[in-house]
Structure 1
């Protein structure tokens, strides 16, 4: 059963989402806390994962990151990774006040940008009993240099500096497209073809609150963000990392390099697919059961 929920972050911003009760559950149950990746909203297939986990006996808390979707917060489209990490931890704190949560059995799940967040959350917050990180960002700068040509990256840094000066003068934050709409060379945050096809494809029929823009400052914060630096500090909390071998967005070889730095207990799932294939079709059919097994093993 799914119900709408909302909770208040420490700074007063209201975050909204869903709580899934586990099938056959009665009383406090294990809980998986989930949020989506860069600019994405919960309707972008997180409900499919949540339903799968709930059918396997796990409660699930899914919410939209602040400034996106159903959640409050301004400026809209502002993606501050460290604020999103703090909100994950607030979500855990709020869940602990609810009668449906077993406080000893809380897992965190993230994908892409939030796949990096949960690495940090699991390293810092010992309330977390296990963590699943799907196609995660592990190094913002290294990943950005893979996605953006060197000459274009220099121009992007000039845009960051101009936006910083404009904000200091009292202007609103500059905005940038998440994905290109007409031509592949349009400035955007996620310049891969599969990003374009995912965000502007059939998913828009489900994710009606998604907007194809974020603040330029969000991209600057992306390049400054190094969640993989925390991966060696997660143990002894069990870690599962899901890698898409043909991932061109959060590139697979970087993720595999950082996975080697993690300590046991850890588990690796490699999908013969691209970044967004992890959410649908054969990618989902292969990874979701493995993730459920891992969560059941460590939460039930």
Structure 2
């Protein structure tokens, strides 16, 4: 069963869905807190994951990141601005919301994320001991490394200069610079300039998520390139941590994720899903990624125990 929800994140209203377990009766249940990756909104397949989790006895809080989809932006902050640290804090607000529900067991909270939010899941798991299990799929682990692989080397200096110019313009009261998330031409400037990014966002906007917008602030890219979530992986322990990587991920680099996984401490588990970055959301990749996360949470959150 799914219900529309909203909750406060220090003055910002975040909106999403609450999924009760399929077999929900009286008592409280373990709950997974979930948000999407870079620029994405919940309709871009997060409902599919939540349905798998709910069928296994897990409640879910699914929400849009601030300034995206159905959620509000912070006062004075433009929509389509993606601040990874604000999103980390919003995971914590979502945990608090979940813990305040009578049908959620406050002592059995897990966090799940994908791509950019996969990075957030590891950071939240490291800094917030309310979290009892973590699963991240196709995770970003190094913003600088991803920036250097997505932006041509001859464009690094012009991009850094554009960051500085944007800060000056915004300080003078001007409008923030914007850039597209995707373009059909992979050589054109975009936040995610890969063919599979273009296919995923074009398809899901058409078929599932008309609220998704193909733009982000330029500052979102500046914040992205300074986000080094992988350094938090060793700090998640003793909370159980899982990493699901795509075998041929060229957006966040499979080898970077698996290198970071080696630095995580036990208990941990690595799962390899077929295909590239976005193949985790559909077909065989979805069966592997959703099943692995479901089983991890069932194992570590005590599904079946009455709270």
TM-score, normalised via structure 1 length: 0.98
Unaligned 5+ runs, structure 2: 303-307
Which shows bigger deviation, 114-123 or 199-208?
199-208
Q: Residue deviations 1:148-200, cap 9 Å, x none?
A: 2210122211111111111111101110000014x222211001111011111
Asked if 1 retains the 8 angstrom alpha-carbon contact of 2:118 and 2:138, the reply is yes
The yes-or-no answer on 1:104 pairing with 2:107 is: yes
Asked if 2 retains the 8 angstrom alpha-carbon contact of 1:22 and 1:58, the reply is yes
Aligned twin of 2:41:
41
Aligned twin of 2:193:
191
Q: Residue deviations 1:95-123, cap 9 Å, x none?
A: 11111110110000000000000110000
Aligned twin of 1:177:
180
Asked if 1 retains the 8 angstrom alpha-carbon contact of 2:205 and 2:212, the reply is no
SS in structure 1 of the partner of residue 34 of structure 2: strand
Paired with 1:290 and 1:167, the residues of 2 have a C-alpha distance of: 44
The yes-or-no answer on 1:84 pairing with 2:87 is: yes
SS in structure 2 of the partner of residue 200 of structure 1: helix
Asked if 1 retains the 8 angstrom alpha-carbon contact of 2:12 and 2:72, the reply is yes
Paired with 2:233 and 2:66, the residues of 1 have a C-alpha distance of: 25
Paired with 1:70 and 1:236, the residues of 2 have a C-alpha distance of: 35
Aligned twin of 1:20:
19
Q: Residue deviations 1:215-259, cap 9 Å, x none?
A: 000000000100111110000000010000100101100000000
Unaligned 5+ runs, structure 1: none
Aligned residue pairs total 298
Cα deviation, residue 202, structure 1:
4.5
Paired with 1:201 and 1:155, the residues of 2 have a C-alpha distance of: 31
Paired with 2:129 and 2:186, the residues of 1 have a C-alpha distance of: 43
Indicate which of 188, 206, 229 corresponds to 1:204. Answer: 206
TM-score, normalised via structure 2 length: 0.95
Aligned twin of 1:286:
288
Aligned twin of 1:166:
169
Asked if 2 retains the 8 angstrom alpha-carbon contact of 1:4 and 1:19, the reply is yes
Indicate which of 247, 250, 257 corresponds to 1:248. Answer: 250
Paired with 1:253 and 1:186, the residues of 2 have a C-alpha distance of: 26
Which shows bigger deviation, 213-222 or 158-167?
158-167
SS in structure 2 of the partner of residue 71 of structure 1: coil
Aligned twin of 2:160:
157
SS in structure 2 of the partner of residue 201 of structure 1: helix
Paired with 2:234 and 2:46, the residues of 1 have a C-alpha distance of: 27
The yes-or-no answer on 1:50 pairing with 2:50 is: yes
User: Considering only aligned residues, what root-mean-square deviation do their CA atoms show, in Å?
Assistant: 0.9
Cα deviation, residue 94, structure 1:
1.4
Asked if 2 retains the 8 angstrom alpha-carbon contact of 1:204 and 1:210, the reply is no
Residue correspondence of structure 1 range 115-134 to structure 2 within 5 A: 115-134=118-137
Paired with 2:265 and 2:70, the residues of 1 have a C-alpha distance of: 37
Regions of 4+ moved over 6 Å:
none
SS in structure 2 of the partner of residue 171 of structure 1: coil
SS in structure 2 of the partner of residue 137 of structure 1: coil
